[in-house]
Amino acid sequence: MSEAQLFDGQPVIEFDNPGDRRNFLKWAGIVGVGSTLAAAAVTNPFASAQAGGDVDILNYALTLEYLEADFYKQGVAGDLLSGRERELVVPIAEHEAAHVSTLASTIEDLGGKPVKKPKFKYPEATFNDKATFLKTASTFEELGVTAYHGQVTKIKNVDLLAAAASIAGVESRHAAILADLTGGNPFPAPVEATATMQEVLKAAKPFIAG
């Protein structure tokens, strides 16, 4: 189905309504994901309508938070985790859900339109065992951290910067705990790394490809 053709033609994210798809494609236009679609977005008058840079950034963050929230919801629903691991990961699921609603209402407060929750598809084995789930979680968290830090200097409204930073700090906590749980390095560098929208979308691809 053409609506879902985003990453190299692989069905990845399905949007409920065409407006959200347009919004997403607008980022694709900004970051150059999928040349054909990007070109279409650029010439689409609706796609370039109003909504300043901050709303775009928040919708980008919202989509990543949707992905995380959805991912953890599935992950903690089963019996994969127990004991301390479960105690540490369940709140993460709650945080991501809270980030979704905070970002969505912030976008509305700004007069923007929050992107609706896309449908995500995960590689089949993602929730089969604890190790795969936690490893994937760790990857998402590190990706989320670099995604937020990549937008720090692009946000114009200082209150939004504070809001985004207050979320980003929590993502850093998640990332460190998941690195610890999976035998990774909780402190990969003295300063958080950054990633552009293009890099983030590209990195997210293998994990959300159906």
Contact in structure between 25 and 37 (CB atoms under 8 Å): yes
Could you give the 3-state DSSP secondary structure of residue 62?
helix
Under the criterion CB under 8 A, does residue 176 sit at the interface with another protein? Answer: yes
Contact in structure between 18 and 116 (CB atoms under 8 Å): no
Under the criterion CB under 8 A, does residue 63 sit at the interface with another protein? Answer: no
Residues binding another protein: what is the number (CB under 8 A)? 48
Q: Which helix (H) or strand (E) holds 119?
A: strand 119-120
Q: Nearer to another protein by C-beta: 126 or 194?
A: 194
Smallest distance from the beta carbon of 2 to another protein, in angstroms? 34
DSSP string for residues in 65-86: HHHHHHHHHHHHHSSS--HHHH
From candidates 4, 6, 115, 177, binder to another protein by CB under 8 A: 177
Contact in structure between 34 and 7 (CB atoms under 8 Å): yes
Under the criterion CB under 8 A, does residue 192 sit at the interface with another protein? Answer: yes
Q: Nearer to another protein by C-beta: 59 or 172?
A: 172
Smallest distance from the beta carbon of 143 to another protein, in angstroms? 13
From candidates 51, 132, 180, 210, binder to another protein by CB under 8 A: 180
Question: CA-CA distances (angstroms) from residue 192 to 142, 166, 209?
Answer: 9, 14, 27
Under the criterion CB under 8 A, does residue 161 sit at the interface with another protein? Answer: yes
